[in-house]
Amino acid sequence: MEGGLESIESASSSYARLVSALRRSKWRALLWAQPALVAEVLAQDAGCLEALARGLRRAEQEAWPHDAPSVRTLREAKARREELMDRVRKRAEQLTPGFGPPSLEAGLRQLASHARDLPTPKKRLDEAFSMQVARVYPWGLTSSGVFYVRYLLIVLLVGPLLIVGLWAALYLFLRAIFGEDAAELMGYVEFFVVAVVSSLSGSQELLDSGTWWWDVGIPALVLMSGMSSAALWWLRKGAVWLTPERLVWLPRLGEAVTVRTSSLTEPSLLREGRKGPLVVAGNRRVELPLERPDAERLRVWLELVRHGEVRARMSQVASPVEYVVFPADLTKGLLKQEGHAVLMRGKLYFLSDEQAGLALLKAATGRTLDSRVELSWVLELLRWQPEAHLDALLAQVVNDTGGVTWSNGEARVSTDLSRSHKLQLLRDGESIIGRLQASQASVAASLCAVWR
């Protein structure tokens, strides 16, 4: 019975942890963040049930004392399992009214399925990364355009409120000093303000109206603040997030959606036009109104993560592979080839083929796409593969497209990256020269330290 009691105690602890999570109002977020809570119970429940039945039957046959430690363990595990079943039924009823799970396993799988599809961009413990793919703004605005529009709207929102606040503060200040005469003094101030506005607008009617401030001024300021507040709300962004397991669409208006990457059986559909939309069809169908470059890039990434072997290798990676990719020229004597170089710690790959991105995608998935595929896009996601596997894929592309591979033992860097973003590598009369972006300089310097 010793081994059986150990399995019962372990399962009982798992029951207790899951019951505690299901008691909370944010139980879906807890199950989403800690999928092991359900997985542990599913793995242990069948064995625990069998051990419980044996133990209770033996306790009854041998008349074990009710206060014996083994009996208390059996009773406690049975009570916890019954409480868990009750909690699972209640939560399942909330999700699907009228549905009563036929078993604990069926109920747990239903709750886990709902929790897994929670539309949140946060990274789960079992996911290698979570990255924002694109932002979607109204009126076709770009990120920089939204900054200036939002700044103007904040000024139009705060400015009128500031004026009304200063007017009230002035009245309270005068009332504290002059008492009841403050109202008369405010009348003079109002007359002065109306006179200035009337002079600037060239309208005598404003000056003739004794209640202009209250009839026109304050309502206009309040209306301006209200319209600015509404415009700021409308200016909210939508966002698309991607993890190895999920595509999360958080629209500006409407329902947030999660599409499981494992449910994508076909490449996403990219419609014609400047704004896709990109149509993604899996366990949910969603149309993403993205700018075409964003849609093309996301289509490449979805093609990668919809393959189970790619996702499986991502789960093995604790940190991404360090690399830089940049336009470069390969010079051999008087011959010069244009292409792209991929610099890693152990090797440098020079790819002269214009379709190197498509070739790398095919090497990783066995599939190609009929839309644009940039080498940098494919590498951005493949850096979450084991470094040895990424090396093998790049070596395959070099072999298929006629590129060149240099190792850090046979080539050297002849450029000081602290002074220039120009990178030059030399090997036996050959050279590869390229220019880095400013954002790549620090990573390139770290990689080049191995090559010197």
Q: Tell whether 126 is covered by a domain.
A: no
**Is residue 276 in some structural domain?**
yes
- Give the CATH number of the domain where residue 354 resides: 2.30.29
Question: Which pair of tokens denotes residue 30?
Answer: 């807890």
In angstroms, the CA 101 to CA 80 distance is: 18
Does pLDDT of 366 surpass 90? Answer: yes
For residues 38 and 367, what is the distance between their CA atoms, to the nearest angstrom? 35
Tokens of 37: 């809570």
Q: Are residues 225 and 252 in the same domain?
A: no
- Shared-domain flag, residues 331 and 446: yes
Tell me what pLDDT residue 356 has: 93
Same domain? For 216 and 265 the reply is: no
* pLDDT, average across residues 42-60: 86
Residue with the larger pLDDT of the pair 216 and 312? 312
Please identify, among 274, 295, 314, the residue that sits at the C-terminal boundary of a domain: 314
Residue 122 in any domain: the answer is: no
What's the token pair of residue 393?
């894929």
Total-model pTM: 0.71
Q: Is the CB of residue 80 less than 8 Å from the CB of residue 19?
A: yes
3-state secondary structure at position 442: helix
Query: Is residue 359 domain-shared with residue 341, that is, in the same domain?
Result: yes
| Residues 295 and 365 placed together within one structural domain of the fold | no
Question: For residue 338, is it left (φ>0), alpha (ψ between -120 and 50) or beta?
Answer: beta
Residue 173 belongs to a domain? yes
Question: How many domains, in total, are found in the chain?
Answer: 4
Residues 401, 412, single domain; the answer is: yes
Q: Are strands 347-351 and 335-343 parallel, antiparallel or unpaired?
A: antiparallel
DSSP at 124: P
Using one digit for the tens of pLDDT, what is the confidence trace for 93-136? 887 776 667 788 888 888 888 888 888 888 888 899 999 998 88
Contact, 116 vs 38, CB < 8 A? no
Helix 2-23, helix 36-61: angle, nearest 10: 130
Highest mean pLDDT range out of 126-140, 229-243, 405-419?
126-140
The predicted structure's pLDDT at residue 56? 83
Bridge partners (DSSP) listed for residue 331: 336, 431
- Which tens digit of pLDDT belongs to each residue from 266-305? 888 877 655 557 899 988 888 888 888 889 999 999 999 9
Residue 62 domain-assigned (yes or no): yes
Q: Is residue 98 part of a domain?
A: yes
Range of the domain at 411: 324-451
